[in-house]
Amino acid sequence: MLKRFLILAASVFVLSGATLFFGGYFLWPLASQWFLVGAIVVVAVLFERSRYRPLVDRKAAGWESTGERFVDPTSGKLVEVRFNSQSGEREYVEVPPQ
């Protein structure tokens, strides 16, 4: 929800800056600031997810099922918890339908 709001608000800044710049209003300092700030926020929000994703090596040895299963509230799918005793990491894996 917050991500969508930020993209929408930043897009308004980009469009407003472009309108001020190309609309003949001669407000290029304000227009360029609005355009740049909006563009930076859009790029940052879109690429934030891929940059900060935790790196879990699923092929490494030591992953064990804990027996915990629950329905993920965001996706509505059944998820199983796995634990790596060597590193202490937990992983949530979608359980395929039977």
Q: What's the number of domains the chain is made of?
A: 2
Q: How far apart are the first and last CA of the chain?
A: 32
For residue range 30-58, list pLDDT tens digits in order: 888 989 999 999 999 888 766 665 666 66
Instruction: Based on the fold, state whether residues 17 and 39 are members of the same structural domain.
Output: yes
Local structure of residue 12 (DSSP, 8 states): H
User: Which residues constitute the domain of residue 90?
Assistant: 63-94
Convert the pLDDT of each residue in 25-35 to its tens digit: 777 888 889 89
Q: Same structural domain for residues 47 and 69? A: no
Q: Is the pTM here over 0.85, yes or no?
A: no
